[in-house]
Amino acid sequence: MIKAGIIGATGYAGNELVRILMGHKEVEIKWYGSRSYIDKPYAEVYRNMFQIVDDVCLDDNMEELADQVDVIFTATPQGFLAGVLTEEILSKTKIVDLSADFRIKDVSIYEEWYKIEHKSPQFIEEAVYGLCEVNREQVKKARLVANPGCYTTCSILTAYPLVKEGLIDPNTLIVDAKSGTSGAGRGAKLPNLFCEVNENMKAYGVATHRHTPEIEEQLGYAAGKPVTINFTPHLVPMNRGILATEYATLVKKPDGSLPTSEEIKAVYDKYYANEKFVRVLDPGQCPETKWVEGSNYVDIGFQMDARTGRIIMMGALDNLVKGAAGQAVQNMNLMFGFEEAEGLNMVPMFP
């Protein structure tokens, strides 16, 4: 057994971490960190944990926590981990950070998009971007993992094989994504009130959303060159789920013809056939958020559009599981040599 601590345990992603780790045979949670609920029983914050979790919430003292656990999950706002991380902490414990503090390698881009100063840029180069299906071997050796965002996980995995194989022009990529309201966190905010969200759908962060440079950077590695995309997120009135619909121009073959649907499917299978948590649908099938809810799966589908020479790629995942806590546990499993799917074999919930 290893010991785990969670900073930010009373946020939505933090509670999802607790739910998943309670079913993990190799992990014991030793620290439920929450600045807002210090000394309050965790089960009073989340009644779903009644008679399951008896612990009280503790503070966010990373130095003290590092002495007590083998891994720390930081489900915290941007800037928290960067503001407290030291070499002494990293020498004692491994960290999976669910914020964006160490996802972007260029500190100036991070500071431009997040509008805060990065307090520990010396750790950025070391941090491994924890998209397990792409960086599995690097994650295994890491002591600091930057857990990808929910929009980015869905957007990148949906397009990655076709970008990597040069079948689409990545600079024509348009990502139109929708998210349930839990993606905005548990804090009380006017735009997230029931009357504001219910019976409504809206775009936000148009041309300015902070996940844009993260998607561009990772797809740029796949393409072997800088990539510029359009990314537009939308808020929809549901609790969980992300659906990304992505459009890109197909690259013609030397004879001037377009790739066939069978060739596209073969490329997806090349990358994902052996990936437990990525399910590639048959051509013409469209992913739906309801078929991945509560699970660590990503469903991916596509449709060719020969008339326009484009392809429509679609991905669906649960933003709190594969888009946050589930992926964090998947990363932890790799870091400690556990079976990668341990604790994550949840069948999607329906209805």
Kindly list the catalytic residues.
150
Q: Which two tokens stand for residue 77?
A: 């706002």
Instruction: Decide: 325 and 263 in contact? Cβ < 8 Å.
Output: no
Phi-psi region of 7 (alpha: psi -120 to 50; beta: other; left: phi over 0): beta
Determine how many CB atoms are found less than 10 A away from the CB of residue 169: 16
Q: What is the DSSP letter of 205?
A: S
Q: What is the DSSP letter of 8?
A: T
DSSP-derived pairing of the beta strands 2-7 and 128-129: unpaired
- Size of the chain in residues: 351
Task: Tokens 């997230």: give the residue.
Answer: 192
Instruction: Decide: 76 and 98 in contact? Cβ < 8 Å.
Output: yes
Q: Which two tokens stand for residue 227?
A: 């990539």
Q: Of 189, 131, 137, whose CA–CA distance to 324 is shortest?
A: 131
Q: Of 180, 129, 147, 124, whose CA–CA distance to 293 is shortest?
A: 180
Phi-psi region of 200 (alpha: psi -120 to 50; beta: other; left: phi over 0): beta
Residues 6+ apart with CB under 8 A from 288: 243, 299, 316
Residues 6+ apart with CB under 8 A from 326: 16, 20, 295, 296, 318, 320, 344
Q: How many CA atoms lie within 13 A of 71 on its CB side?
A: 27
Question: Among the residues of 51-92, which ranges form H helices?
Answer: 62-66, 80-84, 87-92
Sign of the C-alpha dihedral computed for residues 52, 55, 60 and 61 taken in this order = negative
